[in-house]
Amino acid sequence: MTVLEKREEVRKAEFYDVGEAALKVSYGPQHPGTGHFRLVVTISGDTVLEADPDPGFVHRGEEKLAEYKTWITNIPHLERPVILDSAGIQYAYVLAVEKLMGVEPPERAKYLRPIMAELQRIGSHLYWFALYGVFLGHATMFLWCFGDREYLVDLTSLIGGQRITHAYFVPGGVRNDAPKNVPQQLVKEFSRYYRMVTGKDLSLNTTDFKKYTVAVCEFFDQRLDDYWDMFFNNELFIARTRNVGVLSREDAIRLGAVGTTLRASGIKYDNRVNNPYDAYPNFRFDVPVGTRGDCYDRAVVGFKEMRESVKIIMQAVEMMPDGPVKLKQHPINLRVSAGEAVARTEAARGEMLYYVRSDGGDRPYRVKISPPSFRLLPVMKHLLKGEQIANIPPIYWSLNYWPVEADR
Amino acid sequence: MSAIVEQVEAKFSSAVVEKVLDEKKLVKVVVSPENLRQVALYLRDTMGFDHVKAVTGVDLSRLLKKENKIEVIYHLGSYTREGLTAEVALSTKVDKSNPHMPTLTDIWPSCEYHEREVYEMFGVVFEGHPDLRRLLLPEYWMDIPPMLKEYEPAGR
């Protein structure tokens, strides 16, 4: 009898022998590192009979706000729901507006945008694993992830001017070009960190932006090997996540799962490949998929995705052509021709969909955001049913659910 | 992708109210609420759309072409069938004075929470929905559904 079958047997015995001993408990509202969220769980003994996710504690009415702001001033506030992956949430909006306007960004912008999106994907995944580690009692992961993330965030701030919320994407390109050189101080800092972590000297005698980016990417790629040994190949982590919260392929399709959750269940679906946009068709990268669909697989798929993102950034800085980065400076009261458009991108947490409708005015008539986290709610409800209370944190964190993004 | 709309039109000629065919932006077929479930079943079983990506409500009353209706749009997608990559949507329009329509949650379980959101934000009642409760707004919310155009946020 495998562990999985045994667990199933125990679960069934408990599940059907409820009697009147069930208890409804409010699990939260709390701030588990990501935003306020509550689960209403019905428990019997140690078993969750039913979980009812209750989002909405950080609802800000972004969609309503978007109807009152102009097309351009919408960009900075639409990135607020998920600041760690603000490129991910702006990207689809900007693509949808471009579709309505009937414009294409210049070639260079088509490479700068994926660089930004992938940098933030890595940053967002690092944040995910940092907190995943903390919630499973593995504080080293937290410190490592945040230490390394710093240099990727520095790159983001060099390109976009801000560490996380940069409002870098505009209809018809990006706001500004990437710098030619990085500050001398940053290279010094990075060399010091490099020596501290690897014990070797970094031979980087230039402040060239391209070379610095490649150096950071190469360092991070090596660093992922350490993560594997420390966290993913760690008995503690495996014991808590292997065969926990198994999502079958059929259920993943039926419940409309997204992102790493979907791919861990064996479905190779990634908008960067299936529905490519900007320069993504020009990059060579893999879409990692899992086989079992448990919490461990979901984490490993996320881990492998970081490696692919590094590949994309390194290719993009090499392939990036010279030239303008935006069509023209749009006025703040830009008018967009009437119509409706949908755009989808692969944000860090999965598929981001925007429906944008215009009636020809200087403000959108309707902006609908369908964030990946919101689409994970039925999955969470399904996975928690019949689990032990102690398995709620691993399952919750394995989904990479971000309450603020789901609530908007 | 417009072939999908043509096939739907051939099969349910009387049901199709309106259509939008723009491969790049959106391929949308608007049907009457009575025929919505039939068309949805056809799209799922014959066309292979296995999940709903989003359910969008749009209050049409302040558009240039005024209609006192709410449009409910189901954005469809497929994980199993190759080639269904365009933005395909199935939609219906309900009267604003009496917004009732059948649910599609039993056809596509992925739209359970999306329909709850539309119920809360637009007041559209999905008949047959297993768990039609409020979702995002606070419990003490007593005003009209906030995404309707009549609702003006404070301070605007």
Sign of CA dihedral A51, A56, A57, A58: positive
Q: Is B88 part of any domain?
A: yes
Report the C-alpha gap between B48 and A241 in whole angstroms: 33
CB contacts of B25 in chain A (<8 Å) are: 99-100, 339-342
Q: Is B138 part of any domain?
A: no
pLDDT value at residue A230: 85
Q: Which two tokens stand for residue A302?
A: 């996320």
Q: Is B87 part of any domain?
A: yes
Task: Give the domain CATH number at B120.
Answer: 3.30.460.80
Nearest to B54 among A269, A355, A365 (CB): A355
Q: Is B149 part of any domain?
A: no
Cα distances from B107 to residues A1, A253, A370, in angstroms, run 36, 13, 20
Percent of chain B residues past pLDDT 90, beyond the cut: 24
Residue A18 has pLDDT above 60, yes or no: no
Residue in chain B closest to A271 (alpha carbons) equals B85
pLDDT value at residue A12: 61
Q: In this predicted model, what pLDDT tens digit does every residue of A76-107 receive, in sequence order?
A: 889 888 888 888 889 999 999 999 988 889 99
Percent of chain B residues past pLDDT 70, beyond the cut: 99
User: How many structural domains are present in chain B?
Assistant: 1
Nearest to A356 by CA among A117, A59, A71: A71
Residue A13 has pLDDT above 60, yes or no: no
Residue in chain A closest to B55 (alpha carbons) equals A370
Q: How confident is the model at residue A332 (pLDDT cuts 50, 70, 90)?
A: confident
Inter-chain touch B28–A267, beta carbons under 8 Å: no
Q: In this predicted model, what pLDDT tens digit does every residue of B54-84 receive, in sequence order?
A: 999 999 988 878 888 999 999 998 888 877 7
Q: Is B139 part of any domain?
A: no
Domain coverage including residue B37: 2-127
Distance from CA of A107 to the nearest CA of B (A): 19
> In chain B, which among 115-144 make CB contacts under 8 A with chain A?
117, 121, 135-138
Q: How confident is the model at residue B25 (pLDDT cuts 50, 70, 90)?
A: confident
Q: Which two tokens stand for residue A291?
A: 């086989």
Nearest to A264 by CA among A381, A383, A352: A383
Q: How confident is the model at residue B115 (pLDDT cuts 50, 70, 90)?
A: very high
pLDDT value at residue A10: 58
Nearest to B54 among A61, A269, A353 (CB): A353
Q: Is B84 part of any domain?
A: yes
Least confident of A14-28, A162-176, A330-344: A14-28
Q: How confident is the model at residue A372 (pLDDT cuts 50, 70, 90)?
A: very high
Q: Which two tokens stand for residue A224?
A: 């992922």
Q: Does B1 touch chain A (CB under 8 A)?
A: no
Nearest to A364 by CA among A163, A100, A108, A185: A100
Report the C-alpha gap between A381 and A304 in whole angstroms: 26
Kindly report the pTM of this predicted structure.
0.88
CB contacts of A368 in chain B (<8 Å) are: 54, 56
- Are A375 and A55 in contact by the 8 Å Cβ rule? The answer is no
Residue A328 has pLDDT above 80, yes or no: no
Residue B26 has pLDDT above 90, yes or no: no
CB contacts of A70 in chain B (<8 Å) are: none
Inter-chain touch A61–B20, beta carbons under 8 Å: no
Nearest to B41 by CA among B106, B85, B94: B106
Q: How confident is the model at residue A365 (pLDDT cuts 50, 70, 90)?
A: very high
How many interface pairs between A and B have CB atoms less than 8 angstroms apart?
Answer: 107
- Are A82 and A88 in contact by the 8 Å Cβ rule? The answer is yes
pLDDT value at residue A134: 86
- Average pLDDT for A12-19: 53
> In chain B, which among 48-67 make CB contacts under 8 A with chain A?
50-54, 56, 58-59, 62-64
Residue A154 has pLDDT above 80, yes or no: yes
Q: Is B145 part of any domain?
A: no
Q: Which fold, A56-377? A: Cytochrome-c3 Hydrogenase; chain B (1.10.645)
Cα distances from A171 to residues A237, A327, B11, in angstroms, run 43, 9, 40
Residue in chain B closest to A255 (alpha carbons) equals B110
Q: Is B102 part of any domain?
A: yes
SS3 B93: strand
Q: Does B83 touch chain A (CB under 8 A)?
A: no
